[in-house]
Chain A
Amino acid sequence: MPALSDIANAVIRDEIEEFLERPDEIERNVALFAAMRPAMQDIAAALIEGDNHTVDALTARALEDGTEALEIMDDGLIAGMGIVGIKFRENFIFVPEVLACARAMKAGMAHIEPILSASGVEPAGTVIMGTVKGDLHDIGKNLCIMMLSGAGFEVIDLGVDTSEDEFIAALEEHEAPIMGMSALLTTTMPNMGKTIEALIDADLRDDVMVMVGGAPVTQEFADDMGADGYGKDALSCVALAKKLMEEHGQAGR
């Protein structure tokens, strides 16, 4: 079994030692990073530190050195964001720090995405995402989209203030198996339930799995309004999307 000392990058070692508490997560991350090339660990470390300039430079260099785009994304960027997600979940860091890490991830993805798009990799699934009607907050939704994209999903972003009709039109156009709704305000949360009712009225409810999230949203609220799943944060959103795809026999890569 790999040990912490098998990880070359000191930042990664320190992060795992200081911030990871669950044994399964420690074990998984030690194994993941220990098996990783040092150059990928360096990208992950820069991402965890929110250093977009270094991620930009290291990603470009790794591609020049012949590293596969998919390896950089999975090992350097996604693995780094995995640590960030755990730190956020456990309240070691907050949204400003996560935004800085997301900015760093975007700097890396700017190199990776064109290559992956051109390679024609089959997406893990399609997800329609939007913030509900009357709500203009999108940080959480955008973090989810970034993580979903990184996990191989094709994401259709409907933006903020999304009406029931806009959700329905997007579902009909893209025939997506999953739809995600976000709300930051307790005053707009009820619009999630209204949208689900509109899906029923449009005879689309059985065709799509609905996941919801946002700071004031809870599992209880999600259950009460008839959603198929609730994600507390961007990491949970990805896990939920994968689970929903598996449960419905539509798992992709």
Chain B
Amino acid sequence: MRQGSAVPSMTSRERVLASLKRAPVDRTPVCNPTSVATVELMDLVDANFPLANRDPELMARLAATSHTELGFDSIMPVFSIIQESSALGCKMQWEQKDNWPTVRMREPIWEDVDDIRIPNDFLLHPDMACVIEAIRLLRREFGDEVAIIGKTMGPWTLGYHCFGVEPFLLMSLDDPGKTKLALDRMKEATIIFGLAQIEAGADALTVPDHATGDLVSADYYRRFLKDLHIEFVERLPVPLILHICGRTVDRMGYIAETGIAAFHFDSKNAPAESMAVMDERVSLVGNINNPETLFAKGPEDVRREVYANLDAGVQAVGPECAIPLQTSVENLREIPLAVRDWHAEHGLAR
């Protein structure tokens, strides 16, 4: 038991950072390591996609709504997973207000390891500078009150974007040595962007690296990524939140051996089973279902899933991944409300 009335009242920032260390908290924080941007929130603060992904002031304004309008304990300004890929030269589809920007992975920019180039002015690219400036703006506005979480893509995901998903996965099978070399070169992009966000004021970093059980085996995670994630923990001096969508419980044991602070997990993994595998070695953040619950159902269903996570002892509650843009604000607001109610009902007990 690590929480309850014995713990003095905390700020949102203190609460999130404590939860990432599995330290005592006054209540479980509500956290969004990926994105809770919605069309409704865009309208509310007049900060619309696609521009809110490219203009630091709009990015910060839309990101802040997760705290000011929804009552979450963290703010995540990086809504998508494409900033670095844009800076690396991938062809982009910025889309409209009601759709996510995305990388045209069918038009890859690299074919071989020797093609990998991280430009010297990587951080000066407008889509990188936008994130860094948005974090500065948010830190200035919210001071020490709210946890500002940055996001830097892991090399496996960059591989999908830059080589194309199919060529990258085939390379991993045909030539594992070459794939490891490619990952080793791409990891520098993760480090460079991560350090820049820490310098700008990020309290923690989400590292999406989509080695999901829907695509690759747990052994793939062990062979290709585990050591790189250990290196990220060593070189990025803030708590890291690894994000992998889909089925992951089969690789959580390996993830727990990396020293990473937290794992943002998907609703395909049962909270209690995931907690048992992590065994207090890594904090879990999640795992309210997006498409079926947050998007398509009502507050009562959201509340049920929040309670299931809290009953299991999950350290921070939030959506499983970036939410559909048409998700209702009412459902998102239900998450912090349900967390408070659960604590009111359970007091110290867990």
Contact = CB atoms under 8 A, between A and B. Distances in A.
B163 to A, nearest CB: 13
Interface residues of B, number: 37
Given A94-B215, A134-B99, A136-B93, A100 B324 contact: no
A54 interface: no
A224 interface: yes
Given A161-B93, A190-B291, A99 B170 contact: yes
Nearest to A220: B292
B295 A95 contact: no
Contacts of B105: 136-137
A114 B177 CA distance: 37
Given A139-B166, A218-B292, A94 B217 contact: yes
Nearest to A161: B93
Q: Which secondary structure dominates chain A's binding surface?
A: loop
B104 A50 contact: no
Contacts of B102: 134-136
B173 interface: yes
A186 B320 contact: yes
Contacts of A136: 93, 102-106
A97 B99 contact: no
Nearest to A189: B291
Contacts of B169: 95-96, 99, 139
Nearest to A224: B296
A99 B292 contact: no
A100 B170 contact: yes
A99 B291 contact: no
A139 B105 CA distance: 11
Interface residues of A, number: 32
B115 interface: no
Contacts of A50: 173
A50 B174 CA distance: 10
Contacts of A134: 95, 99-100, 102
Nearest to A92: B217
A189 B324 contact: yes
B215 A138 contact: no
B54 to A, nearest CB: 17
A95 B215 contact: yes
A186 B173 contact: no
Interface in B71-92: none
A187 interface: yes
Contacts of B100: 134, 185, 187-188
A96 B173 contact: yes
Of the listed residues B95, B174, B296, the one surrounded by the most CB atoms of chain A closer than 10 A to its CB is B296
B342 interface: no
Given A50-B173, A136-B102, 19 more contacts: A91-B217, A94-B213, A96-B169, A96-B173, A96-B220, A99-B173, A134-B100, A134-B102, A136-B93, A136-B103, A142-B166, A186-B245, A186-B295, A189-B291, A189-B295, A190-B324, A190-B326, A216-B246, A221-B296
Interface of B: 93, 95, 99-100, 102-106, 165-166, 169-170, 172-174, 212-217, 220, 245-246, 290-292, 295-296, 320-326
Closest 3 CB pairs of A and B: A215-B214, A134-B99, A186-B290
